[in-house]
Chains A and B, each alone.
Chain A
Amino acid sequence: MSTGFATSTRRDAPTSKFLDLRALAALEQKRFTTRQRIEGAYSGRHTSRQLGGAGEFVDYREYSAGEDLRRLDWRVLARTGRTYIKLFQDETNLVCTMLVDASRSMLMGSRSSRDTSGSKLEYAQYLTTALSHIITCGRDQVGLATASAGLQDYHAPASTQTHATLLQQAIENIDTEPESRLDEALEELFQRNSRRGVLLLVSDFLLDDLQALFAKVRLFRHRQWEVVCLHLVHPEEERLPEGAAYRFDGLENDGVVACSPAEIRALYQEQFEKHLNAVRTFAVAAGCDYRLVSTAIPYLTTLSGFLVERAG
């Protein structure tokens, strides 16, 4: 696991097990677009927030004293005798930061304590690895943050392949912790990032205080970040496993409960549905792009749908 904020990697780092290039080949042509104007360091395909001298002409505005005369539209002046400046949409690159929830609850669905196959975490790892690859292929920048009891690891966005490989390794090496304080992680992340971009929040949102979390999310929104919430849900979380009697051990030190799922299924689903609605409500209220993702659906299908949807 990356302990700090690494800035250099080996050039010949091995490929992540979560990177399936053959499967992603079909998705490489797709681009991770944003629904709003972004701010990027380089010219890319994405619509920039800034109205500079290059790019596509979009509109006129009256000239104000002190503005750059080079932007003055002389033809309009000649025709109308009034001073107007041209406004242009510059195309820049995407800066995406993926925040992966590394709390212990993300291990839900693991085959064993040593084998996280089937878990939400593994799903997140596949998803974020694929996204890091696709974003990098689009010459956009992608960064990674992992959060559990605070910001666990952070890799600032970059667009090189080496960086992507580094991220993928970091994703592969995510280690979970029993505590889940995403709000603190978000705050720290916010402090570290002055630039606008896209925050991709991949989590199961099983937190004690959703309000606190989304309060931090709103910080990003206030800075005009686009926040996409990918809410991971395991099928057994939705409907409880089948069987006569279970002893459910809480993954985040939240105790043990023995019961018969059949007896409480209806009541549990009611509670869980309430939780999902709460997350959705908070996310939408915070202006986030919210998406409920079931780990029963192959990640590629989810990813493909996600990219298509965002492409408009």
Chain B
Amino acid sequence: MVFWLAVAAAAVPLAVHFLTRPRPVRMPFSTVRFIREAVKQRRARNRLRDAIILALRTLAILLLGWAIARPLLGEKKLVSTAEEGATARVVLLDVSQSMAAVDGGVDAFQRARAAAGQYLEYRPGLRVNLIAAGASPRAVFEAPSTNVESLREQLAESQVRPERLNLLAALSAAGDMLAKIPGTNVRRELVIISDFQRSNWATANFALLPDDTLIQLESVAAEEPPDNLAVTGVQVQGRPAEGREVLLEVEVGNYAAGARRAKVEVTLGDTAYQLEELCPPRTKTTISKAVTVPQAGWQMGTARIARADDALVADNERPFVLDVRPAPTYALITREPVSKRPSSTYYLERALLPYGETAGGARVERMSPARMDMEILSNAELLVIDHPGRLKSTQIEMLVSLLRRGRAVFYVASELVDATNLKLLAEAAGGGLQPPVDLVPPPRGSLRRNLFLADVKTDRAPFQGLGDKSGALLAPLRFSGGLATQRIEGALDDDIVATYSDRSTCLYVTSSEAGSLAVLNADLAASTLHSSSAFAILIEELIEHLLQQNRGEGAAAGELLVRRLPPTARAAASLKVVDAAGQGVNFGELVEEGDGIVWRWPDAGPPGVYQVRRDAEAITAVAVTTPPEESDLRTLDADVLTGRLAGERTVQYNSTVGDDQQRDDTWIWFAVACVLCMLGEIVALRVFNS
């Protein structure tokens, strides 16, 4: 059809040529023979001239038409909007944050919307559906439909979301939809419109789709990744405590080809701080500043890059929260009497309060296992267990409950009964606690004495606090007591931080739901650790590490947020979830589960700070943020998508930006060529007339 139209268009100048030829005037003439002779001489030149002019005119018309039509060059698209027959098509539209990146004044999502529109045109036999792919896939209909009008409306209303692209979920949803299409003669098509960001797409797996699915990839990414500067993280080093100075660290990602100076404005409560650093290209830079937290409680803040002038504006600001705790209280659970000195407990207590109880306001609440009080334990920052004897099941349950609700436990295991206690603790916690080793009695006849540290992860807490002196400080240490250890199959070896010379575990740190557990396998009284200058540092670092673990990370926008509230939360009915402005509209639900309250929010967001409050008191707070990986705008090569990742699938890749650019250039050249043809005609006329 198009071909015949083109032929008809090319025939137009021919028709014009013949129809507009001047009609000859008949005239009797006496000197016809001279005319004939002149015509004969002229004929050869005229033929050549007419042929040249006709060719130039035809070419000019064709070029002008082609320039206006801007046809596609190159191969035909795999998924064609003109293909006839029964077709089930799913259009997967990437709505992740990176799609808001602006290049050349146009953001990728505008291009994506335009590209998607082409595939949502009605034609007989076509059923189509639209899935907005972000942290979770959101399909307009449950199955492909002929209601393209609604799909186009939804497309028009679709927006970029401050989320990452959950490609696995999106492909799975599309695959399920296509697999459910009945009939064998139905053409299955999947059109994916995305920027094919490397961080999202590197692990794409098309195996989730039916085998006969034709996959058309439409890239809306810029030809070159645009420059972007982003705040990718905010944290504090050290435990933020009222009146104490902590190191505020802002991580800035410079996704540009050249170094850029980042000026970051950090507001924490009512105080603003200015940070500045030259950020090398294509890397993250941490900018630090010591700040003093004035008051206790949950503090809200934001870190914002001033005048960033980059492709993605949404990642120039990141909210954060700090849980500024009052002076810590440590609960020391032990059977050892206070008067027993020296003892393992004594050394521990000295390490917990190196400067005494009054310094910094920290306290140690010493209690025997029989007098374990839930309220006291709930208020304690850290539970230290040393020589507790055999713990009863109620006590075990209490510990498990506290672990689940975010408390940290430091267990010094030196006796056989400690192995039993830890075993019971793991069993009571269920799958929430997975220690890397089991403590077991040492082999009969073997004495655990004068063991030294053979394998230490000096880049991990607590040993990283020793710095360059770790070797000199750790080498002379000798340990005695404790238990043999057996590796648990499938457990994380990474949790083991130090190992003895007899291959038994010295120290491991593991997580248990919201809490964390550190186990030191040694009898401190029989070891030389307590007399080392490293002891206090190690204990402090370990405590810092355990308490930081409990603080909880921020939440990614669009994803499931689950927070177990601290024991101080009490009843769910007295709590409500609000945003930074104090408004409380559909920010998840608070559910009483077992021995605590769980805040569950299936689709957290938009980015900001959200608190669970009881009246004016903030029980907990979380910062919902844009996933930092969305800030790296690098895209995956087309070859990788169509080759390695596609496997045996029929996958075609098309870049809308490249095509537009190419077409924009092409039509300009076509128009120029058309003008040149017209000029050529004028020149030819002059030449042949001269």
Contact = CB atoms under 8 A, between A and B. Distances in A.
A267 interface: yes
B35 A268 contact: yes
12 contacts: A105-B30, A241-B27, A245-B24, A247-B24, A247-B27, A251-B28, A254-B33, A255-B32, A264-B38, A264-B39, A267-B37, A275-B34
A257 B36 contact: yes
A144 interface: no
Given A247-B25, A255-B32, A267-B37, 15 more contacts: A108-B30, A204-B30, A206-B31, A236-B29, A246-B26, A247-B24, A248-B29, A248-B35, A250-B28, A251-B28, A257-B36, A258-B24, A259-B38, A259-B42, A272-B34
B76 interface: no
B46 interface: yes
B186 to A, nearest CB: 63
A241 B30 CA distance: 12
Interface pairs A-B: 3 shortest CB-CB: A244-B22, A267-B38, A250-B32
B50 to A, nearest CB: 11
A259 B26 CA distance: 11
Contacts of B25: 243, 245-247
A169 to B, nearest CB: 26
A14 to B, nearest CB: 30
A162 interface: no
Nearest to A275: B34
A268 B30 contact: no
Interface in A87-126: 105-108, 110, 113, 120
Contacts of B24: 245-247, 258
A35 to B, nearest CB: 30
A27 to B, nearest CB: 29
Nearest to B33: A254
A105, A249, A255, A259 — most chain B CB neighbours (10 Å): A259
Contacts of A264: 35, 38-39, 41-42
A174 to B, nearest CB: 16
Interface string B29-60: 11111111111011000100000000000000
B444 interface: no
Contact of B31 (A113, A237, A246): A237
Contact of B38 (A243, A246, A271): A271
Interface in B1-42: 21-39, 41-42
A243 B23 CA distance: 10
A240 B29 CA distance: 10
Nearest to B32: A250
B37 A249 contact: no
Given A244-B22, A245-B21, A268 B38 contact: yes
Contacts of A107: 28, 30
Nearest to A104: B30
A55 B38 CA distance: 58
Contact of A248 (B32, B41, B42, B689): B32
A67 interface: no
B20 to A, nearest CB: 11
Contacts of B29: 108, 236-237, 248-251
A234 to B, nearest CB: 7
Contacts of B30: 105-108, 120, 204, 206, 234, 237, 250-252
A247 to B, nearest CB: 4
Interface in A260-295: 260, 263-264, 267-268, 270-272, 275
A271 B22 contact: no
Contacts of B27: 241, 246-249
A264 B38 CA distance: 6
Nearest to B23: A245
B31 A247 contact: no
B32 A257 contact: yes
Nearest to A234: B30
A236 to B, nearest CB: 8
B46 to A, nearest CB: 7
Nearest to A240: B35
Contacts of B36: 255, 257
A198 B461 CA distance: 141
Contacts of A120: 30
Contacts of A110: 28
Contacts of B33: 250, 254
Contacts of A105: 30-31
Contacts of A272: 31, 34
A204 B27 CA distance: 18
A254 B32 contact: yes
B41 A267 contact: yes
Given A107-B28, A108-B29, A250-B29, A268 B23 contact: no
A82 to B, nearest CB: 64
Contact of A247 (B26, B38, B41, B42): B26
A260 B23 CA distance: 10
Contacts of A256: 32
B34 A268 contact: yes
A306 to B, nearest CB: 23
A272 B21 CA distance: 28
A110 B21 CA distance: 27
Nearest to B31: A237
A275 B31 CA distance: 10
B25, B27, B30 — most chain A CB neighbours (10 Å): B30
Contacts of A271: 34, 37-38
Nearest to A263: B42
A275 B35 CA distance: 12
Nearest to B34: A271
Contacts of A247: 24-27
A236 B39 CA distance: 17
A263 B46 contact: yes
A267 B26 contact: no
A121 to B, nearest CB: 11
Interface in A216-248: 234, 236-237, 240-241, 243-248
A264 B29 CA distance: 15
A143 B507 CA distance: 151
Nearest to A273: B34
B66 to A, nearest CB: 32
A245 B191 CA distance: 61
A249 B24 CA distance: 12
Contacts of A260: 22
A270 B38 CA distance: 9
A283 B28 CA distance: 28
B89 to A, nearest CB: 59
Nearest to A266: B38
B390 to A, nearest CB: 121
A255 B28 CA distance: 10
A245 B22 contact: yes
A254 B31 CA distance: 9
A259 B24 CA distance: 8
Contacts of A270: 38
B685 to A, nearest CB: 11
A102 B34 CA distance: 21
Nearest to A262: B689
A108 B28 contact: yes
A250 B34 CA distance: 11
A260 to B, nearest CB: 8
A14 B31 CA distance: 36
Contacts of B42: 259, 263-264, 267
A204, A246, A248, A259 — most chain B CB neighbours (10 Å): A248
A257 B31 CA distance: 11
A246 B39 CA distance: 12
Contacts of B38: 259, 264, 267-268, 270-271
B38 to A, nearest CB: 4
A240 B25 CA distance: 13
B21, B35, B37, B41 — most chain A CB neighbours (10 Å): B35
B388 to A, nearest CB: 117
Contacts of B46: 263
A259 B39 contact: yes
Contacts of B26: 246-247, 249
